Structure 1
Amino acid sequence: MKSSHQMIKERRDKLLALLTTETSLLVKEISLELAVSEITIRRDLTALEKMGLVQRTHGKAKIVQKTGTEDYNEEIEILKNAIAKKAAEFVKDGNTLFINTGSTALSSLKNLENKRVTIVTNNVKVANLDHNPNSTVILSGGEIRFPKEALVGDIAIDSFSKMSSDISIIGCSGLSIENGITTPVLHESKINSLIIERTNGLVIVVADYRKIGFSSNFTSGKIKDINYLITDTFASPEVIRAIEKQGVQVIQVEL
């Protein structure tokens, strides 16, 4: 049986395919063609418009012409940015914040606005961002692993082991009941585990729907280590319910 997020994705793919065959279509026409309610079609069009995939005018919708790869990448980036923005809301002025090398975790820093914080990370890419001049950015040091520009090894581990944070925002490659928070890189899993261990306050995992229910090679932490999971509404409802049963607060951002 297909999960509801799969059904939504398939329906929206069909909607986009339909719009590629016509200059524009009325909501009623799309509803009849796909055999779903007009309310559902309007909801889908709202989400697709926010993703930059469709344009609506005078009750009609038309496709925004791009390649399939661009469509997919833009959709994912919009989801990740929405997740990152929500995560940033939990960071308070004066906090010390740990983040790992996850791209969504890094994006959360762009949404801190004027908060004065201390950021501790093993992500070299943090140096490319604009920061509040009253904030402090601390790189852990260590061996740089490319292409991710992650700092790993004994020096990085030693740095994190001597610090603690008020809050951490962690990206991952997979999150499952069976294997917890996972990453494909052993060296990074050790740092991630230490980030969780040395966080005195909230541990927030940020992951879009592609990561939910998926497991990578190395475990960084257990589900019970997480205070908040921030994901999107495409995430598998079955996995989300199982995660919530472990005591995790789940926030699903909507587009």
Structure 2
Amino acid sequence: MKRSNEEVQARRNQLLERIKELKITDAKTLSQEFAVSEMTIRRDCTVLSEMNQIKISFGKIEIQNAEMYDQDNADSMAHIKARLAKEAATFISDHDTVFINTSSTAIQSLSYTTDKTINVLTNNTKIIHMNHHPQSTIILSGGEIRYPKEALFGDIAMESFSNARSDVTIIGCSGLDLKTGISTSVIHEARINTKMIENSGKLILVADYRKIGKSSNFTIGNITDIDVLITDIYSDKKVLDEIEKLGVQIIQLPF
């Protein structure tokens, strides 16, 4: 039986932790420890290397310096999120009404729309500190502020999205799974995200490889609600193929 995406990801996470412990090792050693073939280990390590998490050289597998590893990993994720955000921005046109949720990637897409006059409704207060076209209209949903995300939630926020319709909605999520659909880990934001999806024109979901095939606590929408999924080259291809069969346009960005 072929292993599920979750099992593969779990093994890669365990591999990474073991490599960090060993400092330097090889495929044969890891193969014996994890009871999988050396080919499987090499394939997993190739993915981890492409994600800038480990180094492979002359058959040796090693972790980077801990401080360098943490910084490189953060830089790598920041780069991925920026690329996803920039691609999502291409779906926004002049005079569109746009919904944005509390996702850091979704809100970043607005950084690439400063040349467009748009109307934005969001419960993400980070928009206050962003540049925008002087003729654009920026509307905060209102509601209670929840930290540390600085997200607006509650009945007032819900009412704002209940009485509006978007041309384009850009959202992020905690998980995207074939069985549980689009999900979030934050109960306070779940109802608002669901309402955004219900009242969307075109729905653009931005989700990096860590979210694909993962299920989080609260379902906010179905896969069939998504018009365009923007993700990265590290996402599980088998899961993406099944999502595409459900009619979702998938944009998988190389890095």
TM-score using structure 1 length: 0.76
- 3-state SS in 1 of match to 2:250: strand
- 3-state SS in 2 of match to 1:243: helix
- Structure 2 residue aligned with 1:150: 151
- Structure 1 residue aligned with 2:243: 243
Structure 1's unaligned 5+ residue stretches are 22-34, 36-43, 55-63
- Structure 2 residue aligned with 1:59: none
AA at the equivalent of 1:249: Q
User: Whole-Å Cα distance in 2 between the matches of residues 219 and 151 of structure 1?
Assistant: 19
AA at the equivalent of 2:142: G
- What pairs with 1:1-255 in structure 2 (closer than 5 Å)? 67-199=68-200, 201-255=201-255
Q: CA deviation at 1:242?
A: 1.0
AA at the equivalent of 2:110: L
CA contact (8 A) 1:84 1:206 kept: yes
- 3-state SS in 2 of match to 1:165: coil
CA contact (8 A) 1:3 1:236 kept: no
Identity rate of aligned residues, in percent? Answer: 47
Structure 2's unaligned 5+ residue stretches are 25-38, 40-47, 56-63
User: Whole-Å Cα distance in 2 between the matches of residues 228 and 109 of structure 1?
Assistant: 17
CA contact (8 A) 1:3 1:237 kept: no
**Taking CA–CA contacts closer than 8 Å with sequence separation of 6 or more, which of the two structures ends up with the larger relative contact order?**
1
- 3-state SS in 2 of match to 1:203: strand
Q: CA deviation at 1:113?
A: 3.4
Q: CA deviation at 1:3?
A: 8.7
Q: CA deviation at 1:246?
A: 1.0
AA at the equivalent of 2:171: I
User: Whole-Å Cα distance in 2 between the matches of residues 69 and 202 of structure 1?
Assistant: 36
AA at the equivalent of 1:233: I
- Structure 1 residue aligned with 2:36: none
User: Whole-Å Cα distance in 1 between the matches of residues 68 and 130 of structure 2?
Assistant: 29
TM-score using structure 2 length: 0.76
Which sits farther off after the overlay, 108-117 or 227-236?
Answer: 108-117
Cα distance, 1:177–1:2 mapped onto 2, change above 3 Å: closer
| Structure 1 segments (4+ residues) deviating >6 Å | 2-6
CA contact (8 A) 1:176 1:213 kept: yes
CA contact (8 A) 2:114 2:131 kept: no
